[in-house]
Amino acid sequence: MSAGSPSRLASLLRQGVFCVTAEVVPPRSADPSAVSAQARALVGYADAANVTDNPVASAHMSPVAGAALVARAGIEPVIQLTTRDRNRLALTSDLLGGWALGARNVLCLTGDPPTAGDHPDAKGVYDISVVELVRLAVRLRTEGRLLSGADVEEPPRYFVGVADAPLAPSSTLDRLEEKVDAGAEFVQTQIVFDADAFEEWAGRARERGILERASVLAGVAVAGSARAARSMRDRLPGVVVPDRTLALLEDAGDAAEDEGLRLAVEVVARLKAIEGIAGIHVMGLGRLDPVRKVIAGAGLTPRPPVARRGAR
C-alpha cells in the first residue's frame, strides 16, 4: 500500500485496523443540508464515507460538491467517479477539484448503464476505462502528470480504490487483478450475505496475492424483510442470499428488521475472521439508522483516531 497519500483511511489500514466505510448519497436537490446531515450521522461510526456519483444512473448533486460537504461535517470523503458520465478532461478536472475540497480517497467506477436510470436516452461517455482511470489517479500522485503528459504543479495524492462483485457469475479474479496491477490499493465489494461463498472467494484471492496488494472491504447491508432480501438478490448483480437467510427473515414476521440486523452483525463477525479481509463497507440502501446499528452491534464503535502529519 502506498505511503504517498495523506488519506486517513489509508493510514488506518496500514496500521492493521479493521476499517469501516459507509455511504453518503447526494440528493436530487441543490440543498446541501441532506448531505451534511448524513455525514454528521456517520461521525464516530465510519472511518470514511463514500460520496456516490449519480447512483443507478440517475441525476443527483455532484459528488465533488458532496465531498466538500462531507469533509466539512468531520468525516473523510471517498469520492466516487464513473467513466460513464465524463471524458478524460472532466475526470481530471473532478480529481483536481475533489482534492481541493477535501477528498483524500477516490473510488474508480464504470457506473451503471444509462438505460438503468432516469435518463435512459443519455449517452454513456466511456472515453477511458475504469482501469485507465485508476492509472490516471495513480499517475497524478506518483508523477504529477496528466494523461496528456502535462505536469500538474500541485497534484492530488489520492488513495485509489475500485469496486468488485466477487460472487457475480461474470466476476473473475483476472479483472480485479488488472485493476490492482493498474494501482488500485483498496477494494469495496458488493453486499455479502453468503459469508461461506465469500470466504471461498477470499481464499482464491489470497492465493493470488491480491489481498496482500490491496485492502479488501467487504460490503454489508441489513435486509429488513424477506422481500427486501429477494429484491437485492434479483436486482443487484453478485448479491447471493442463502436460503437460510430468507427463511429466518420469513419466520421473523413483524420482527424481520431486527432479525436482519442480527444477521448482518453475524456476517460482520464472519468477515472479521477471514484472513486478509481489511474491513467492511456498510451500505444503507437509503437509510442510515441500520448502518449505525450494524456497526455498533458488531462492536466497531467508536472509530479510532489516527496520527497525521497534515492534510496536504
Q: Residue ranges of the domains in the chain?
A: 14-164
pLDDT of residue 3: 61
Q: Which sign, positive or negative, has the C-alpha torsion 41, 226, 172, 63?
A: negative
Q: How far is CA 209 from CA 14, 198, 202, 237, in A?
A: 17, 16, 10, 25
Q: Which sign, positive or negative, has the C-alpha torsion 65, 68, 71, 76?
A: positive
Nearest one of 4, 40, 47 to 303, comparing CA atoms: 47
pLDDT of residue 309: 46
CB 75 within 8 A of CB 42: yes
- Residue 145's DSSP bridge partners are 151
pLDDT of residue 310: 44
pLDDT of residue 68: 98
pLDDT of residue 304: 86
pLDDT of residue 89: 98
pLDDT of residue 312: 43
Per-residue pLDDT of the chain (312 residues; tens, 9 = 90+): 556 789 999 999 999 999 999 999 999 999 999 999 999 999 999 999 999 999 999 999 999 999 999 999 999 999 999 999 999 999 999 999 999 999 999 999 999 999 999 999 999 999 999 999 999 999 999 999 999 999 999 999 999 999 999 999 999 999 999 999 999 999 999 999 999 999 999 999 999 999 999 999 999 999 999 999 999 999 888 999 999 999 999 999 999 999 999 999 999 999 999 999 999 999 998 899 999 999 999 999 999 875 544 444
pLDDT of residue 275: 98
CB 98 within 8 A of CB 79: yes
pLDDT of residue 307: 53
Report the distance separating Cα 222 and Cα 193, nearest Å.
9
pTM for this prediction:
0.95
* Half-sphere exposure (Cβ direction) of 166: Cα atoms closer than 13 Å: 24
CB 76 within 8 A of CB 7: yes
pLDDT of residue 5: 85
CB 70 within 8 A of CB 34: no
Q: Assess if CATH 3.20.20.220 describes domain 14-164.
A: yes
